[in-house]
Amino acid sequence: MAMKRVVVSAIRSFASSGNLASSPLARHFHASAGSKKIVGVFYKGNEYAAMNPNFVGCVENALGIRNWLESQGHQYIVTDDKEGPDCELEKHIPDLHVLITTPFHPAYVTAERIKKAKNLQLLLTAGIGSDHVDLKAAAAAGLTVAEITGSNTVSVAEDELMRILILVRNFLPGHHQVIKGEWNVAGIAYRAYDLEAKTVGTVGAGRIGRLLLQRLKPFNCNLLYHDRLKMEPELEKELGAKYEEDLDAMLPKCDIIVINMPLTEKTKGMFNKDLIAKLKKGVLIVNNARGAIMDTQAVADACASGHIAGYSGDVWNPQPAPKDHPWRYMPNQAMTPHISGTTIDGQLRYAAGVKDMLERYFKGEDFPPQNYIVKEGKLASQYR
């Protein structure tokens, strides 16, 4: 019942945000009769593509929708080559109708690309988070941008909980000792703690943030949240979480901070040197939201000084992260590639969601309202 209320309340929160900023331009969204050119940009599965029939999120398995699309006469191009003027994606920009991308291997849809894409009507995110699209340019061009809302919220919330525990218990140094043939309990225990009684604050309490709070409740933490919208009192009670309207007041209270807000012009670079300096010394930070919310060098410096005692996440700026990215080499980090939302279960959900959305598009039907990021030139308020 609590899970159901979390999801229902999150959907209501999205709907209540309303107030869409409209554009005078609008490309005709609904598909006209005839073959459509659909391009998907995914990461390569390589030798792993054949190891699991449900590994549908890679180039080779193409969300499992190739046969279905081609049987209806549509053209389906899938690639991982997305960067530079001579990449495979660029060749198809001028005449594609639908572009499917993912946050895990994002194809950056710039204003320049949108201008070139004369036939483009629909930008679909296979997953959650459409900040790889220039949303203002998409809205101005009258495009529709949508994602598979809820498809991997459980996947990301579980991953966040795992990362919290990895940092709190100082797990990685112990694991590295085993690999190196070492045995030094003191080298781990001197900074390993219990999660119980720690203050955990989530910056953002939408679908993922609420699922995380729900999973943290049995650990008997002091749970805080900051969001644009306050939860209903009944839900707050069920989650055991306290609303903090003032973010600057909440952050210094936290032993652990989890980032759960979208990347927008307002949140880009929010966690800069000055804000990090206000955090509790020894704070732990988990960020599976977007790397660009953080000032890259400020995080690296704070980890080096010990002000941030541990940083973990799967999001970088840019993605894929270059080999010299400072987060690869900073101390006390538990970083991974962008994997939290692309579990096999998550892939199956967002693949099914993409197929459902394409079916609606071909039939001229609207999408579920919570899936829209830009609807016929109208930009959702949380991304403005």
Q: Kindly list the catalytic residues.
A: 152, 290, 319, 338
What b/e readout covers 9-26, taking b as 16+ CB neighbours within 10 angstroms?
bbbebbeeeeebeebeeb
DSSP string, 175-230: HHHHHHT---THHHHTT---STT-EEEEE--SHHHHHHHHHHGGGT-EEEEE-SSP
Distance CA 263, CA 269 (A): 9
The two three-digit tokens of residue 334, written as one number = 């538990």
> Which residues are part of a known binding site?
128, 152-153, 207-208, 227, 262-266, 288, 314, 338-341
Cα separation of 25 and 300, whole Å? 43
- The helix/strand/coil state of 40 is strand
**Rg for the chain (alpha carbons), in Å?**
21
Tokens standing for residue 285: 């930070």
Q: Which of 334, 346, 342 is nearest to 165 (CA)?
A: 334
Angular region, 19: left φ>0, alpha ψ -120 to 50, beta rest: left
3-class DSSP state of 31: coil
Which residues are annotated as part of the binding site for substrate?
128, 152
**What is the C-alpha to C-alpha distance for residues 79 and 62, in angstroms, rounded to an integer?**
9
- DSSP for 85-149, please give it: TTSHHHHHGGG-SEEEE-SSS---B-HHHHHH-TT--EEEESSS--TTB-HHHHHHTT-EEEE-T
- The owner of tokens 């000084």 is 305
Give the pair of three-digit tokens for residue 124: 């679909």
Cβ within 8 Å of residue 334, ≥6 positions away: 163, 166, 167, 171, 172, 310, 311, 312
For residues 149 and 349, what is the distance between their CA atoms, to the nearest angstrom? 10
The span from the CA of 76 to the CA of 57, in Å, is 15
